[in-house]
Structure 1
Amino acid sequence: MIIAVNDFVKRQVKDSGKTYARSMSFDSIAKHAEDQMSKGCFSKGYRDGVKIVHADTSILDDFVCPYVKIDENTQLVSRIVRRSPHEESYIQTRAKNGEPLETGKVDLIIYRHDVLIENNENTTNAEWELISINAIPKGLDSIPMGPITMMRNQLNLEGGTKALYRTEEWAESVKFLAKIRCNRAKYLILIKVFTIKIMNN
């Protein structure tokens, strides 16, 4: 099996607010995913043609976890952004303070070619492509998909891949992101939940 690097994952670099590797190249991460797949170290994704490859513990220290836990002292700032010109805008929220959580696990998300070509999202002709690198905070077994990603997928919008989620999956996504947010370097936090909670008190 060959796993190529999709252009989408290349945005995951330092200061992006996303999981990134300190020294490993994207090609070496994709090769590691191939090796782990051959060992059976993977689980099913949210639909057929999507797999979650579990990185070996030997490389975990190379990945920076983008999450911090928020509390009443966390200062948040929001703005309207979009990932690309053809996608809908969403509210991005950052925080000015917070300590990044330690990486406990790393999942490598790969998509099969036929799934990617549904929306012309393949950037190679390989059977599988590395789409995302997700560092999971120590103490957690997994993290739910972000609600904006779920919304794009379920409504089959630009940038999404068709899927249908259970009520419990939506609830877990919002619950997780109500407590933990994505960190950016210098304590700027990129939040992947894009709902506004209006406080009356």
Structure 2
Amino acid sequence: MTSQRSVALDRTHLAYLYQQFAPKILDYVYKHVSSFQDAEDILIDVFVAALKSSSFTSLAEKEQLAWLWRVARNKIVDFYRRAQRAPRLPLGNIDEQLVKDTFPTPEQISIQQEEGDNLALLIERFSPLQQQVLYLRFSENLRCAQIAARVGKREGSIRSLLSRALNPLRRHYHEQEKGGTYFGPTQ
């Protein structure tokens, strides 16, 4: 019975401290963090820590106040440490262009399909071995040594085949950037 009464008195005293000092601590925290909601969260964490602390009630009122201010400062430091490890971006700051880019327009879809068709036409001009090597390298993510073992060639030959296949593809995309269309030589 006595422990329940002392817990009730402690909570009443903590409520008194909250009413007296929470506005000042909240102002202090808000000056050091990016948003009012974060400041409120930190303030709540400070008083929850006081509620959970076994030594808080044994302190004199001035010591309790100093303890609250120290915990508030430490919570602010913790807030910034967490922010450095996992930066957060408030939803209000998301660039509209970023949102627009996640959903391609019909025009963008059409352009992508056209580019894919042009690429397929270019690859069709390659030898069957070059086509197979490109497929194994980029679709199956195999390394040159693995491709060489699969097709029965030396690793150096595979590197040469890849290089000869990728050069026309690069030229094709450079031409695309300039506005022209390059279909490369027949291989």
Using structure 1 for the length normalisation, give the TM-score.
Answer: 0.20
Return the structure number with greater relative CO, CA threshold 8 A, min gap 6. 1
Using structure 2 for the length normalisation, give the TM-score.
Answer: 0.21
- Rg: which structure is higher? 2
